[in-house]
């Protein structure tokens, strides 16, 4: 099925629009939350020296600022330059994927475009921090508590931000699309065998 030029322009608007919203919301929220928590930082790359804590949902969700010099949970923390380079490469690859699929007669499709736009916006948000600050600003803290008093223990998911959330949404959409495609191919294969 061939997509019209006007339909393809909708994909372009969707790709750039959603990516801009994700990256813009990420950078705005980082600035706003770090200011709200009165973060005092030191060093280069920076680290949080002090902050005010803000509990959103008791024993479950707090705003807590920190700088992550690595990737997920601080992995590869000593390689900020490499991570910035990988992020820049990812930005180029995601954009190239969109262009390649956009040029196909059927276009990239709504969900595929949405997935790439979430990935692109999230990657740009974190790339900005890595390049300009040397570390990514995280502020969303999810956790649960077991025990009470002396046995109280917090089980914390590594802090994250809006960009990380955008990347997770994009990856999830790509997985859903791939699973759906595999199911459709399997059904088509069964229908061919029956015929």
- Residues annotated catalytic, as ranges: 138, 164
CB 153 within 8 A of CB 146: yes
Which segments of the chain are extended strands (E)? 40-42, 47-50, 54-57, 61-68, 136-146, 153-156
- 3-class state of residue 106 by DSSP: coil
Please tell me the distance from the alpha carbon of residue 181 to that of residue 128, in angstroms, as a whole number: 34
CB 7 within 8 A of CB 109: no
Those residues whose C-beta lies under 8 Å from the C-beta of residue 57, and which sit 6 or more positions away, are none
Percent of the chain that is helix, strand, coil (3-state, to 5): 60, 20, 20
Please tell me the distance from the alpha carbon of residue 19 to that of residue 78, in angstroms, as a whole number: 28
């Amino acid at each position: 099925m061939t997509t019209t030029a006007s339909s393809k322009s909708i994909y372009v608007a969707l790709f750039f629009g959603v990516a801009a919203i994700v990256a813009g919301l990420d950078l705005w929220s980082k600035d706003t939350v770090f200011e709200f928590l009165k973060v005092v930082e030191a060093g280069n790359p920076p680290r949080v020296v002090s902050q005010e804590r803000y509990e959103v949902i008791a024993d479950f969700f707090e705003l807590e600022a920190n700088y992550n010099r690595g990737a997920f949970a601080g992995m590869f923390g000593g390689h900020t330059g490499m991570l910035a380079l990988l992020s820049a490469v990812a930005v180029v690859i995601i954009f190239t994927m969109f262009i390649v699929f956009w040029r196909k007669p059927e276009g990239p499709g709504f969900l595929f475009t949405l997935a790439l736009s979430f990935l692109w916006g999230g990657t740009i948000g974190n790339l900005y921090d890595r390049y300009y600050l040397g570390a990514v600003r995280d502020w969303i803290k999810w956790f649960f508590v077991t025990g009470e008093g002396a046995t109280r223990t917090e089980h914390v998911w590594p802090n994250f931000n809006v960009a990380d959330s955008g990347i997770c949404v994009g990856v999830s959409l790509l997985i859903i699309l791939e699973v759906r495609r595999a199911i459709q191919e399997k059904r088509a294969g069964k229908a061919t065998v029956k015929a």
